[in-house]
Amino acid sequence: MYKKQSLKEALEEKGLTQQDLAKMIGFSPSYVSRLFTASQLTGFKTLAKIEHPLNIKFKPINVVNREEY
């Protein structure tokens, strides 16, 4: 998982749009848009593609299953 806000901030710092990012990583603008609205989950390979052009590093976060507690 990733923080959408961090991704938005990285784009703003670089002066890029979601459409620019889509072109850079070879995905459709609609797919990238879904990443920003959290209607699309993504895997590590996609995150790695995003990290390079934005010069950022995603940190993994732990998700706890509440049913176990």
pLDDT digits (tens, 9 = 90+) for 38-69: 655 677 788 788 888 888 877 665 555 556 54
Task: Quote the pTM value.
Answer: 0.63
Residue 68 in domain: no
Q: What is the pLDDT of residue 18?
A: 92
Residue 69 in domain: no
Number of domains the chain contains? 1
Residue 10 in domain: yes
Q: What is the pLDDT of residue 51?
A: 83
Distance CA 56, CA 66 (A): 31
Distance CA 68, CA 45 (A): 29
Q: What is the pLDDT of residue 21?
A: 92
Residue 63 in domain: no
